[in-house]
A and B are shown apart, each in its own frame.
Chain A
Amino acid sequence: MIEFRDVHKHYADYHALRGISATIREGEFFSLLGPSGCGKTTLLRTIAGFEDISSGAVLIDGRDMAQVPANVRPTNMVFQSYAIFPHLTVAQNVGFGLRRDRRGRMEKDRAVAEALEMVGLGGYGARAAHALSGGQRQRVALARALILKPKVLLLDEPLSALDRKMREQMQVELIKLQRQVGITFVLVTHDQEEALVMSDRIAVMFEGEIAQLDEPEALYARPVDRRVADFIGVMNFLPAEVLGDGGEVVAVRIAGLGIVEIPAAQISRAMPGDPGPSVGFRPETMTLLGAGEEPRGAVQVSRGVIDEVVYYGDMTYYDIRLEGMGEAVEPVRISMRNVFGRDVPAVGIPVRVAWSPGALVLFR
């Protein structure tokens, strides 16, 4: 549907896109995720036609877009600032793109009314645009773009200006809307949670490159390198020493966890800046065992001392210093769902933790 072929973008003094190659599929909810300044907006704008690329190609439906100006591309955009025209009414804003449409006045009015209905703003047509709330502007921007039935809807951090409640509500609405209209959505965000919640697939970008393009689950469970692992959710890293490589499995000695065999499927790249091989795992893959509690399933048990307790209401983070992990390594963070009536262990108490080798990722 949308294809990037080795796209580069140079600004006068900055190399903003460094060889982007990727394909966005028809009808999927696709997100561009990455830290500020990594080039997400720039990449999105090359699809819309607001940014000339320095080399490479952007194709939509197999057609090279190089000579196609923004106003005739089959894409529409929801701008970060929404860009609702302040001198027009809500209906005039939504109907803005219909000017060149051959349909009669009545039909256009009906289309506008339908579009407003779709985003939950039925009856707001006559309102002045500058008298809308943030959430309402956002909906007008959506209606204005969707009324033109684009093949792709581009959204640049559309939720970042909203407060938390509103943002969560709009996330759900956007997912529903995408299913309803069935077109490709490309969303830019720097909020990993938002990307995980909403997307079919996510491209994680760093410094003008796509580091990993995957489904949310895969991205979370199997990050390709430490940067991605670090950016998505919380990940613990422990230094590891590779003892032997048997092809199918690699034997490593992990500070605090002992000697473990890790299957090849759980091995990712180390980055040039990394301190050496390391093993990562998510906080929820380890369990704190209560006194006398026996671990269930094929798991291993390690001992440690609670270093810090961070209470979050529904759950608690425990930072634990494992036996034999050494002073130089940060304590590992474990998350536990809080159970009503059960005590939260305090700092300084010796504990046992259960973990499974299947949850470890080796970066080498």
Chain B
Amino acid sequence: MRPNWLGAYALLYLLFLYAPILLLPLFAFNDATIVAFPLRGFTTQWFGEMWENATLRRALGNSLIIAGSSAVLSTCLGIFAARASTRFRFPAKGGIMGAIMLPLVLPEIIVAMSLLVVLLSIGVTLSIVTVIVGHTLICMPYAITVLTTAFASLDPAFEEAAQDLGESKWGAFRLVILPLVMPGIISALLISFTVSLDEFIIAFFLAGNQPTLPTYIFSQLRFPASIPMIMALGTVLVLLSIVMLTIAEYFRRRGAARTGQNDRGFL
């Protein structure tokens, strides 16, 4: 009997996890300016408003640039770290890898504030570039987690076999390692992109007067009139993340299947 109780509990727990998100579409399509029950009627007005909002579009543009750049940068740096940690033994490895993974638990407010102090004191103008710098830092541990799984599942003999067959170190990397970890790389890119797209604190303090999606949303939460539109935006964003994560998961699993290791979910 026990498994059934546990199963029921787990389902309830899932419901708890999803409850707030399930409210999003309800209010996004609700024909009322106040976000409250009972619901009034169906409208797509809020999506239209969202579509026509120029600031929102600018925020979206900024966010896409930031998320794209941070994803590429953190994944590139992550490839170095993941490869070093899975393939090589070197002194102070634990300490170095620990430092690289630290942003995962360091409160973002600390990262944001310390960076802000430094940037201001050396006279850097805040812009989306400074946000990219910060986001690359916090996305890197996520990228490394995914990439480490991908690299660790590779038989070290693959690389040696390629060299044995006449390829240089770089040739072995390009022709064998890279194709085999490509699913992991794509997965790391998507996950970093998602993290950056959603990140608020660093963007809030380091973007200067440039809006990003989260900071724009934050600024609008103060105005009750904008909230239905934010709900519409939220619906779109949630769908977008789910699509991206599903793709990321697909690539992660494909990589796992290809190198023949057994599957373990993300993180």
Contact = CB atoms under 8 A, between A and B. Distances in A.
Interface string A68-111: 01111001110111110111000000001101100000000000
Contact of A81 (B157, B163, B176): B157
Interface string B137-162: 00000000000000000010110111
Contact of A83 (B161, B168, B260): B161
Nearest to A141: B161
Interface of A: 48, 50, 69-72, 75-77, 79-83, 85-87, 96-97, 99-100, 130, 144-145, 148
Contacts of B210: none
Given A72-B166, A75-B164, 10 more contacts: A50-B160, A71-B163, A77-B160, A77-B164, A79-B160, A85-B158, A86-B258, A87-B176, A144-B165, A145-B164
Interface string B157-190: 1101111111110010001100110000000000
B260 A70 contact: no
A76 to B, nearest CB: 6
B259 interface: yes
Contact of A87 (B155, B157, B171, B180): B180
A86 B161 contact: no
Contact of B165 (A50, A69, A87, A148): A148
A145 B161 CA distance: 9
Contact of A71 (B157, B168, B259): B168
A86 B162 CA distance: 13
A86 B260 contact: yes
A71 B166 contact: yes
Contacts of B260: 86, 130
A326 to B, nearest CB: 52
Nearest to A147: B165
Nearest to A50: B160
Given A71-B166, A144-B165, A86 B160 contact: no
Contact of B157 (A76, A79, A130): A79
A96 B160 contact: no
Contacts of B165: 71, 76, 96-97, 144-145, 148
B166 to A, nearest CB: 5
A71 B175 CA distance: 14
B157 A83 contact: yes
Contacts of B164: 48, 50, 70-71, 75-77, 145
Contacts of A76: 164-165
B89 to A, nearest CB: 8
Contacts of A80: 157
Interface string B228-267: 0000000000000000000000000000001110000000
B258 A70 contact: no
A193 B175 CA distance: 39
A50 B162 CA distance: 12
A72 B160 CA distance: 13
A87 B160 contact: no
Given A80-B157, A83-B160, A97 B180 contact: no
Nearest to A12: B89
Greatest chain A CB density within 10 A among B166, B167, B179 is at: B166
Contact of A86 (B166, B167, B171, B259): B259
A351 to B, nearest CB: 53
A72 B166 CA distance: 6
Contact of B160 (A70, A100, A130, A144): A70
15 contacts: A70-B160, A71-B165, A72-B166, A77-B161, A79-B157, A83-B161, A86-B258, A96-B162, A96-B175, A97-B165, A99-B175, A100-B166, A144-B165, A148-B165, A148-B166
Contacts of B160: 48, 50, 70, 77, 79, 83
B180 A86 contact: yes
B167 A99 contact: yes
Contact of A79 (B161, B171, B258): B161
B166 A99 contact: yes
B152 to A, nearest CB: 15
A68 to B, nearest CB: 12
Nearest to A100: B166
Contacts of B161: 77, 79, 83, 85, 144
Nearest to B259: A86
Nearest to A154: B164
A148 B176 CA distance: 18
A130 B258 CA distance: 8
A303 to B, nearest CB: 57
Nearest to A150: B164
Greatest chain A CB density within 10 A among B161, B163, B171, B180 is at: B161
